[in-house]
Amino acid sequence: MATMVQVAEMAGVSISTVSHVLNGTRHVEPETKQRVLDAISRTGYRQDALARALRRSRTDSIGLVVPDAGEPAFAEMVHGVEHAAANLGLTLILANSAENPEREERATHALLDRRVDGLILGRAAVSTPGLLQLLEEEKTPIVLLDRVFPDLPFDQVGADNREPMERLVAHLIAAGHRRFALMAGDIRVPTLRERGEGFGNAIRAAGLDPADQIVLSGTDDDELKDRLLDAFRAPARPTAVIAGSTPLAVSALRTARTAGLTIPGEVAFAAFDGFNHSDLFEPQITTVRQPAFDVGVAAVRLLADRLHDGDARPRTVRLQQSIEFRASTEDFPGVDADRVADAVAEPA
């Protein structure tokens, strides 16, 4: 590979001049400039991004750590981040922690050691003390992605999770549902916790008895399924199930199948994040859709702003989710009238 030295020799100028025509950083006589340009194209010279970065102390790259590259929602965020980064001329270094605290810390260090100009971090459900300390001390701008932590002094982007859950549950209550099962999942994850909170808010706001609601939280998928199955087989089974994420939705759907319950005939169903092309398949699932691509874009935007003004006050951006109402919550034959009467008779 040719270096500036060979270009300079061929053009009969100093490497300083080559550098300046390359970067347009000072005036160069048109004629010499042309000689340099010719030498560049004849040698096929290309700037070495590494050496340039070392000298300038900027890499024009950003790092992205996601907690689960396999989940479609995160894959979409990666897509959005890549897109926005490319638009700014930044290259993207990607790492996946796979919800593993050690991998998360290692990946974060690896990216920082590569001197990324900024880092977008979707934290794992649980982080190492080392990572938390690193976050505190690190000077490189960091944006937290998807999983929003209230008290951290970082720019953060995520979806608004409580509001759509409240709206969804209110909708189902208005349709007559009184007993819900929520597949809440790992509530150490802010996203899932917030969705769970939205659920609680809606139940209380409607004056329903929280004791009638089944909230299944935990990290053991098999156990969640078992508990949901028990609920399905109990005398007063839930008439509506809400899943807080795609994996939880898969578990819920499998459990409904195991229990022999049809959707929406025997149980209503809705999911956050959900499945692609839900409009094409039965059951048509009511879905709270997160603008995952845009969340990624917004993260880059926050990062770029911070790169530009390091002292601005940290911002937390919440993107709105939309609810795609479909048959899975609409076409059920109606809730058992007795049970509805019970629930209404003895509000919380």
Partner DNA sequence: CTGTTAGCGCATTCAG
Partner DNA sequence: CTGAATGCGCTAACAG
Chain residues binding a second copy by CB under 8 A are 1, 44, 46-51, 53-54, 59, 61, 69-70, 72, 75-76, 78-79, 82-83, 86, 91-96, 98, 103, 107, 109-115, 137, 139, 250, 253-254, 257, 275-277, 280-283
Q: Nearer to a second copy by C-beta: 173 or 271? A: 271
Rounded distance, CA 172 to CA 208, Å?
12
d(CA 33, CA 30): 5
Which of a second copy, DNA, none does residue 310 bind (CB under 5 to 8 Å by kind)?
none
Closer Cβ to a second copy, 108 or 213, answer by number:
108
Closer residue to DNA, CB minimum distance, 39 or 256: 39
Tell me the closest approach of the beta carbon of residue 75 to a second copy, in angstroms: 4
Hey, what are 186's tokens? 């790992």
CB 65 within 8 A of CB 109: no
CA dist 139 and 310 (Å) reads 10
Instruction: With residue 338 as reference, give the H or E element that holds it.
Output: helix 337-345
Q: Does 28 sit near DNA (CB under 7 A)?
A: yes
Nearer to DNA, 19 or 245 (CB): 19
Q: How far is the CB of 72 from a second copy (least distance, A)?
A: 7
**How distant, in Å, are the alpha carbons of 67, 109, 113, 197 from that of 105?**
11, 6, 12, 29
Residue written as tokens 């969340």? 295
Give the whole-angstrom CA distance, residue 274 versus residue 107. 28
Q: How many residues bind DNA (CB under 7 A)?
A: 32
- Told to check if 133 binds DNA by CB under 7 A, we report no
CB of 103 to a second copy, least distance (A): 7
Q: What is the dihedral of CA 39, 42, 48, 51, to 10 degrees?
A: -30
Specify the residue, 47 or 276, whose C-beta has the smaller distance to DNA: 47
Per CB under 7 A, contacts with DNA among 29-68 are: 29, 31-33, 45-48, 51-52, 54-57
Q: Does 22 bind DNA (CB under 7 A)?
A: yes
Contact 131, 104 (CB under 8 A): yes
Q: What contacts 18, CB < 8 A, 6 or more positions away?
A: 4, 7, 8, 11, 36, 39, 40
CA–CA dist 5, 21 (Å, integer): 14
Least spacing, CB of residue 282 vs DNA, in Å: 58
Strand partners, 157: 145, 317
Sign of CA dihedral 161, 148, 216, 326: positive
**Rule CB under 7 A: is residue 1 a binding residue for DNA?**
yes
Out of DNA, a second copy, none, what residue 91 binds, judged by CB under 5 to 8 A for its kind, is: a second copy
Which one, 48 or 346, has the nearer CB to DNA?
48
**Contact footprint for DNA (CB under 7 A):** 1, 3-5, 12-17, 19-20, 22-23, 25-29, 31-33, 45-48, 51-52, 54-57
